[in-house]
């Protein structure tokens, strides 16, 4: 496990753009090693799982990522030494992987440098590195080796829609606002409805493959669960697009309002 300081570098944005980060190599790694990344304040939790793809690279062999550095002087310092390439495997934002929870299962203190995981701590992280917004959401989807290419793409999309980090970034960017029906669940259900929202993936399935990297600004949009269900229903074998659903909703809303006035 290694640590990441978000005040120095925008890790989530960098992973979203390329699917990997060329990281300063401060320990002895082998290709194929799994590396968990602990994010420091304000997160203070393990948020990324990666796999080592390359090792012992020098600066002119890596992908220049200056745009993601918050402090340019730290970027300049990073040019010395060796790098390894960490490919993103999974990302999440879970209260089960906070510093306090990790310390309850064997971690002695917040990691300052590389920490070799073993025993109870490694088992705990492996068991709990599951994204709440993905796992169990579609219990009727079969195992990957059993599914067709079309359904496989659907699984990929559903997984990206429910990635907690992508979801949080989407809501942070767009606001917790239903972009089709404009309903306010808090007004309807009180505190239990506060901040309850789904995130819909706008990119067509035909454009999705195993190398796809999500763009939370352009690919995701917050909508209510009812609208989310409707947008994934098929008419003549095709799902409706977001703008189509907006027009349908507005049209029938006006009809129903007029009927209510007439009655």
Query: Is residue 134's pLDDT more than 70?
Result: no
Residue bearing tokens 């990297």: 213
pLDDT at 54: 95
d(CA 168, CA 246): 23
Average pLDDT, the chain: 81
Query: Is residue 139's pLDDT more than 60?
Result: no
Query: Is residue 215's pLDDT more than 50?
Result: yes
Query: Is residue 136's pLDDT more than 50?
Result: no
Cβ(38)–Cβ(110) below 8 Å:
yes
pLDDT at 240: 79
Cβ(8)–Cβ(70) below 8 Å:
yes
* Whole-number percent of the chain with pLDDT over 70: 82
Confidence of residue 157 (pLDDT cuts 50, 70, 90): low
pLDDT at 210: 59
Q: How many residues does the chain have?
A: 263
Determine how many CB atoms are found less than 10 A away from the CB of residue 216. 23
pLDDT, average across residues 42-49: 90
Cβ(81)–Cβ(25) below 8 Å:
yes
pLDDT at 115: 92
Query: What is the per-residue pLDDT across 159-176, written as a single tens digit (0 to 9) for each?
Result: 555 567 777 888 888 888
Domains of the chain (ranges plus CATH)?
A: 2-128 (2.30.130), 144-262 (no CATH)
Query: What is the per-residue pLDDT across 88-116, written as a single tens digit (0 to 9) for each?
Result: 888 888 888 999 999 999 999 998 889 99
The angle at the Cα of 86, spanning 80 to 92, to the nearest 5 degrees, equals: 125
Confidence of residue 2 (pLDDT cuts 50, 70, 90): very high
Residue bearing tokens 């600066």: 59
Could you give phi then psi for residue 179, rounded to 5 degrees? -80, 5
Within 8 A by CB and 6+ apart from 83, the residues are: 22, 23, 24, 25, 57, 58, 59, 61, 62
Lowest mean pLDDT across 68-72, 80-84, 141-145, 214-218: 141-145
pLDDT at 144: 42
Lowest mean pLDDT across 21-35, 147-161, 244-258: 147-161
> CA of 190: how far to CAs of 175, 185, 187, 194, 199, in Å?
19, 7, 6, 7, 21
Cβ(29)–Cβ(55) below 8 Å:
yes
This prediction's pTM: 0.59
**Residue 207 tokens, joined:** 């454009």
> CA of 15: how far to CAs of 65, 105, 178, 250, in Å?
11, 28, 27, 38
Within 8 A by CB and 6+ apart from 73, the residues are: none
């Amino acid at each position: 496990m290694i640590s990441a300081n978000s005040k120095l570098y925008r890790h989530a944005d960098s992973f979203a753009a390329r699917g990997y980060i060329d990281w300063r190599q401060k320990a002895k790694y082998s290709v194929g090693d799994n590396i968990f990344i602990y994010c420091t304040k304000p997160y203070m939790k393990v948020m990324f799982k990666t796999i080592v793809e390359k090792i012992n690279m020098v600066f002119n062999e890596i992908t220049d990522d200056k745009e993601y550095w918050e402090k340019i002087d730290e970027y300049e310092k990073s040019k010395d030494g060796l790098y390894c390439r960490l490919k993103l495997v999974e990302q999440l934002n879970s209260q089960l992987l906070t510093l306090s929870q990790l310390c309850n299962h064997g971690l002695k203190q917040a990691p300052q440098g590389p920490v070799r995981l073993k025993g109870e701590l490694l088992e705990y992280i492996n068991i709990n590195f599951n994204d709440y917004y993905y796992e169990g959401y579609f219990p009727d989807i079969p195992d990957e080796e059993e599914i067709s290419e079309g359904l496989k793409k659907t699984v990929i999309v559903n997984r990206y829609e429910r990635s907690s980090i992508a979801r949080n970034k989407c809501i942070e960017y767009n606001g917790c606002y239903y972009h089709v029906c404009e309903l306010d669940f808090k007004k309807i259900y009180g505190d239990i409805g506060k901040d309850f929202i789904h995130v819909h993936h706008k990119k067509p399935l035909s454009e999705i493959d195993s190398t796809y990297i999500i763009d939370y600004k352009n690919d995701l949009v917050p909508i209510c669960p009812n609208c989310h269900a409707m947008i994934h229903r098929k008419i003549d074998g095709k799902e409706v697009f977001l703008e189509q659903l907006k027009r349908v909703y507005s049209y029938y809303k006006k009809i129903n309002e007029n009927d209510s006035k007439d009655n």
